[in-house]
Amino acid sequence: MNKRQPAPRSLTAQLDRLPQWPLYLGILLLYPLLVYPEKVLFQWTEISVGMQLTYIFIYAILALGLNVVVGYTGILHLGIAAFFGIGAYITGILTVPAYPFGIGFVGSLICASLGAALAGLLLGAPTLRLRGDYVAIVTLGFGEVTRFSLRNLEEITAGMRGLNPIPPPTLPAFLATPLSWLGIQNDWALDYRLFYYLALGLLLVVILLLRNLERSRLGRAWVAIREDELAATCMGINAARVKLSAFALGCGLAGMAGCLYATALTSTAGPDAFDFSRSVIMLCCVILGGLGSLRGTLLGVLLLIGFDNVAAPALDGFLQRANINPDDNPWLTFSNWKLMCFGLALILMMRFRPEGLLPSRQVEAELHSEAQLHREGASI
């Protein structure tokens, strides 16, 4: 074996040596209960890291949905934000006092997921027969159409203001007492931790679901289609239906994330929260982490959304408090450089590690030279 390992490979080795998921899960489960780390972080950053983690969990569900479509099945979906928005608005319509439904959180979670999946089916059924780039254009267009519809259907969606207030979920009585022992108050507005655990729990359910699907017949069919659609068809895979199933599942997960997002915000936010840049950032999360890889996608969300929502505003705060930027000079405000850092990171990644940080084995195999893989032979 060559002594000088190629750089990407050694990085993989390093990342593989990171402690495994029980540790991460343990940290995430304990973090809010210990109270102290949240307090310290808040003093440093003036940001509720726990609350932001909640949003990271929600975006993780969204990104995992997108990963089913783009990562596993290889359909370039540029309009995931539309389905995120559809989920949010379904939740809004079904729960805000202005409407007569008021079905509450659980009902709206189910309706938002199914509704977004149905929208995915309706969009996908006629368009997934298109090849490659055309699907991307269709999804991109659908995203914009959805956003403008949400803006212009003012009687239904309240236009730019968005629907609010969305009531918080009701805590089942049998959970209220044990949670109060842990020091968690039964008040969704005052204590971020209820929503934190709710989002984390749903994220875990989604991860388990996808882990099983990945190894199922359907999961293998998705991957086969990504690899070569004609060959997959020759193997007896019903390509149209299998692609549609991936599309509907991905959009349904996006709708679920949208419901959580709106409930956490207690508002659907305005239509512009679901614009093209949201779709692109989610796509970047998936690509940065590693297309088709569950843990890669999760890492991508943590890094990008964490950077966007926690690191960048925290840095702004430092600069201000350290008197480097006392009068809000835009050149010295880190947030204004955020997108540039973002772009630079993506360019560097495409140059040095195109398969993403934690790629799935298959994508990694594709993006490295044959010679390299031959050399490493059995290790793949």
Partner 1 sequence: MPPLLEISDLRAGYGQIEVLKGISLEVQPGEIVALIGANGAGKTSTLMSISGCLRPRSGSIRLAGQEIHARAPHEIVRLGICHSPEGRKIFPRLTVLENLQMGAFARSDKAGIQQDLDHAFEMFPILKQRTTQAGGTLSGGEQQMLAVARAMMGRPKLLLLDEPSLGLAPLIVLKIFEVVKKLNDEGISILLVEQAARMALKLAHRGYVMETGEITMHGPAANLLADARVQAAYLGG
Residues lying near partner 1 in the complex (CB under 8 A): 217, 220-221, 223-224, 227-228, 230-239, 361-363, 365-366, 370, 373-374, 377-378, 380
| Smaller CB separation from partner 1, 351 or 374 | 374
Instruction: Tell me the longest C-alpha to C-alpha distance in the chain.
Output: 70
Minimal distance in Å, beta carbon 253 to partner 1?
24
- Least CB distance to partner 1 at residue 367 (A): 9
Looking at the Cβ atoms of 100 and 377, the one nearer to partner 1 is: 377
Tell the smallest beta-carbon distance from residue 315 to partner 1 (Å): 39
CB nearer to partner 1: pick between 221 and 310: 221
DSSP assignment of 286-318 equals HHHH-TT-HHHHHHHHHHHHHIIIIIHHHHHHH
Alpha-carbon distance of 358 to 346, in angstroms, equals: 15
Query: In whole angstroms, how close is the CB of 240 to partner 1 at the nearest point?
Result: 8
Residue 12 or 267 having the CB closest to partner 1: 12
DSSP code at position 71: I
- Using only the alpha carbons of the chain, give its radius of gyration: 22
Instruction: Judge whether 269 and 203 are in contact, CB under 8 Å.
Output: no
Nearest Cα to 34, choosing from 182, 180, 186, 179? Answer: 182
d(CA 359, CA 292): 7
Nearer to partner 1, 146 or 293 (CB): 293
Exposure pattern of 154-166 as b/e (b: 16+ CB <10 Å)? eeebbeeebbbeb
Measure the CA–CA gap between 57 and 54, rounded to whole angstroms.
Answer: 5
Q: By C-beta, is 224 or 248 nearer to partner 1?
A: 224
For the CB of residue 132, give the shortest distance to partner 1 in the complex, in Å: 16
Instruction: Show Cβ contacts of residue 213 under 8 Å, excluding neighbours closer than 6 positions.
Output: 68, 219, 249
Kindly state the smallest distance separating residue 215's Cβ from partner 1, in Å.
Answer: 11
